[in-house]
Amino acid sequence: MRVLMLSKACIVGIYQPKLEAIARRGVALKVLTPPSWRDERGIQPLERRYTAGYGLSAIPIRFNGSFHFHHYPTLAREIDAFRPEILHIDEEPYNLATWQALYLARRAGTKALFFTWQNILRRYPPPFRWGESWVLRKSDYALAGTDDAAEALRRKGFRGPLATIPQFGTDERLFQPAASRPERPFTIGFVGRIVDEKGVAILLRAAAELDGDWRLRLVGGGPAVEETRALASSLGIGDRLSFVGQLPSADLPVEYHKLDVLVLPSLTRRNWKEQFGRVLVEAMASGLPAIGSDSGAIPSVLGAAGVIVPEGDAAGLARALRDLRDQPARRDELIKKGRARFLAHFTQERVAEATVAVYRDMLHSN
């Protein structure tokens, strides 16, 4: 089975164990990425961390950083040279890169699938609406990251085969519980984009309600960093807040061991709600209790292994943080449940196994 995957997400090293796991299942896999990807956090270069058993190539990209307009000028040449049986387009159906890749796959007589996280019913203006409609009609298969995303895809008219599989799992070899907890103040963590919709301001307001000795670590970058600094200063907690900044993916496992709880207080917006919350899975894998808002997919990701608070409720979040700090038995219970839930549902091996099952289904269908 020969599979060519186009994925800008696979530039991140900690996502690449899924690719090795796919290759171990008898797939001749080649993955194409851009040399780097640019977003509001900065520039993420290709990390070559886990590359055994498959090919990983960086190819030129046009309009780097433009989610809707980026595409790959040499993609046709790559398809002609590799001659895949399946083209795995790791992109949303309303993007130019997806339109380009699907057109080239059909021209080459290659079956193709796309991936979506989009979990709300959005109607795009032309030409994106036209391009998305064409992709939904012409693709052989679709992968959705969550059940909500799958439902949105059906409501938009996709009638082909569809599987709900997270885009990536988390590697249990990399993300493991710490051997011990050193003496330190109760340390609250946030990992992700520092943007309004991630609810960082809510987290700061909740932390400001806590008594005793505590610290807050924000890991990531984004346009709201200075606004967040100013808010911390106005709340009188600037000396308890650390901005770690954007880290290479390989440094994240150690970072989780510096925390006592991970919080994802996302806020639903008109055109966005939390699509998955990968950091919640990494926290569960790392032996951390997790608290999330009830935005989007967060409750279904955490299940009974985490704490859910209403989005935007700083007082409720403060109570949840206080309870975890003051009830070690409750914290230990969530740690055990979280690790078990991670191993049951979210490892790279499980995601790879489900993905290869889709490939086989595609090849055996007419």
What's residue 179's pLDDT?
A: 87
Q: Are 192 and 282 in contact (CB under 8 A)?
A: no
Task: Give the whole-angstrom CA distance, residue 140 versus residue 262.
Answer: 39
Q: Are 219 and 189 in contact (CB under 8 A)?
A: yes
Non-local (6+) Cβ contacts of 261 within 8 A are 186, 187, 188, 189, 288, 289, 290, 291, 321, 324, 325, 331
Write out the two tokens for 180: 């011990």
What's residue 40's pLDDT?
A: 77
CB atoms within 10 A of CB 182: 7
Tell me the CA end-to-end span of the chain in Å, nearest whole number. Answer: 16
Task: Give the whole-angstrom CA distance, residue 203 versus residue 186.
Answer: 15
Continuous segment of H or E residues that includes residue 229:
helix 225-234
Task: Give the whole-angstrom CA distance, residue 147 versus residue 132.
Answer: 19
Continuous segment of H or E residues that includes residue 54:
none
pLDDT digits (tens, 9 = 90+) for 80-131: 999 999 999 999 999 999 999 999 999 999 999 999 999 988 888 999 999 9
For residue 313, which amino acid is it?
A: D
Q: For the chain, which residues score pLDDT lower than 50?
A: none
What's residue 41's pLDDT?
A: 77
What is 2-169+347-364's CATH superfamily? Glycogen Phosphorylase B; (3.40.50.2000)
What's residue 366's pLDDT?
A: 67
What's residue 308's pLDDT?
A: 98
Task: Give the whole-angstrom CA distance, residue 75 versus residue 341.
Answer: 39
Continuous segment of H or E residues that includes residue 284:
helix 278-285
Peptide bond before residue 161 is cis, with ω within 30 degrees of 0: no
Give domain 186-345's CATH number out of 3.40.920.10, 3.40.50.2000, 3.30.420.40, 3.40.190.10.
3.40.50.2000
Domain residues of the chain, as ranges?
2-169+347-364, 186-345
Task: Give the whole-angstrom CA distance, residue 54 versus residue 286.
Answer: 28
Q: Which residue bears the tokens 């032309």?
A: 126
Given CA atoms 220, 223, 226, 232 in this order, what sign does their dihedral have? negative
What's residue 132's pLDDT?
A: 96
Q: Which residue bears the tokens 């839930």?
A: 341
Write out the two tokens for 53: 């058993």
Asked whether the domain spanning 186-345 has the same topology as the one spanning 2-169+347-364, the reply is yes
